[in-house]
């Protein structure tokens, strides 16, 4: 069943055409990756799907309402003067969920011991984990993650990958953007490759790799991307 879809969506900021006829769909319970270099239009797609921006043309569909969506963006929007727990309590009150679930979310992201730590004293990795805890607090049906592991150390990134997989197993649809092709290869069920606002390829990472790297033994989405666009990811 389709949970998120876009059909022929275009978006421009002034003279800068960010999205040019983008079409794709995600299915319930899958990890869907949106790959592309910085400036490819990945965040704009999330913003349109979460109604932060409107598309100039085309159709968008998200199966659930905004209160069943979890969101993790580059701008984390945390309340810097409050503790980790207090940050989550704001949303606990809004979603009307019990305290036990808030504490459980903190434990899941490994911040149980840092519950009383003020947010402006957290490292980048801890902030990312807190944002993830906030995003999953209400057990959303669809989770949008914008570069969830960017600038994180490998151990923290691995922990977040584990959590993302657990969420998928719990029935959530995960929509993530990344420019880390290795991450996408190992984590995503299906991916879309975005370049200069256009989709250049989409499908299962394994199938894409086999299609373009037929002679190689290992999967390598990055070389596929370079073949398709003539450019790198950074």
Partner 1 sequence: MNNVKAIFKKQAKGILRNPESLIQFLIFPLVAFAMTAILNFDEYYFTEEMLASMPNMVTMMATAFAGMALIPMVASIIAEDIEKKSLRFLRMAGMKPAPYLLGVGGVVLVVSMVTSVIFGFISDFSGADFWIFAGGIMSGVAASIVLGATIGILSKGQQSSTALSMPIAMVLGFGPMMAQFNDTVARILHPFYTQQLNVVADYLAGNSTAPLWNSFAIMWGNVIVLGIIFALVYAKKGLKG
Write out the residues near partner 1 by the rule CB under 8 A: 50, 52, 66-67, 69, 71, 73, 75-82, 86, 89-91, 93-96, 118, 134, 138
CB of 234 to partner 1, least distance (A): 25
Please state, as a whole number, how many other Cβ atoms lie within 10 Å of the Cβ of residue 117: 15
CB of 3 to partner 1, least distance (A): 17
Which CB sits closer to partner 1, 87 or 156? Answer: 87
Which CB sits closer to partner 1, 74 or 207? Answer: 74
Instruction: Return d(Cα 130, Cα 133) in angstroms, integer.
Output: 5
Tokens 């990945």 label which residue?
42
CB of 139 to partner 1, least distance (A): 13
* Pair type for strands 2-13 and 57-62: antiparallel
Instruction: Return d(Cα 23, Cα 137) in angstroms, integer.
Output: 30
Which CB sits closer to partner 1, 77 or 231? Answer: 77
Which CB sits closer to partner 1, 79 or 158? Answer: 79
CB of 95 to partner 1, least distance (A): 7
Q: From residue 225, how far is each of 65, 152, 160, 179 by CA, in Å?
A: 34, 23, 25, 11
CB of 71 to partner 1, least distance (A): 5
CB of 99 to partner 1, least distance (A): 13
Which CB sits closer to partner 1, 167 or 187? Answer: 167
DSSP string, 168-188: HHTT-EEEEEES-HHHHHHH-
Sheet containing strand 16-27, strands side by side: 16-27, 2-13, 57-62
Which CB sits closer to partner 1, 85 or 224? Answer: 85
* Pair type for strands 190-195 and 198-203: antiparallel
At 27, list the tokens.
């299915």
Which CB sits closer to partner 1, 46 or 188? Answer: 46
CB of 180 to partner 1, least distance (A): 23
Contact 173, 29 (CB under 8 A): yes
Any residues with CB less than 8 A from the CB of 105 and at least 6 apart, and which? 88, 133, 134, 136, 137
């Amino acid at each position: 069943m389709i949970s998120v879809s876009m059909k022929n969506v275009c978006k421009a900021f002034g003279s800068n055409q960010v999205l040019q006829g983008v079409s794709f769909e995600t299915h319930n319970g899958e990890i869907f990756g949106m790959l592309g270099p910085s400036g490819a239009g990945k965040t704009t797609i999330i913003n349109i799907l979460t109604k932060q921006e409107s598309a100039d043309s085309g159709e968008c569909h998200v199966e659930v309402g905004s209160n069943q969506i979890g969101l993790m963006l580059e701008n984390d929007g945390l309340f810097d003067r409050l503790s980790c727990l207090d940050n989550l309590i704001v949303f606990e009150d809004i979603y009307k969920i019990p305290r036990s679930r808030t504490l459980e979310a903190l434990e899941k992201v490994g911040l149980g011991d840092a519950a009383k730590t003020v947010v402006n004293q957290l490292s980048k990795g801890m902030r990312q984990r807190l944002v993830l805890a906030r995003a999953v607090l209400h057990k959303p049906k669809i989770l949008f993650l914008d570069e969830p592991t960017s600038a994180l150390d490998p151990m923290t990134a691995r922990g977040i990958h584990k959590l993302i997989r657990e969420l998928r197993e719990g029935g959530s649809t995960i929509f993530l953007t990344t420019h880390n092709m290795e991450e996408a290869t190992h984590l995503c069920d299906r991916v879309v490759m975005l370049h200069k606002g256009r989709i250049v390829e989409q499908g299962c990472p394994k199938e894409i790799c086999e299609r373009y790297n037929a002679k190689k033994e290992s999967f390598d989405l990055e070389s596929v991307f370079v073949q398709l666009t003539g450019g790198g990811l950074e």
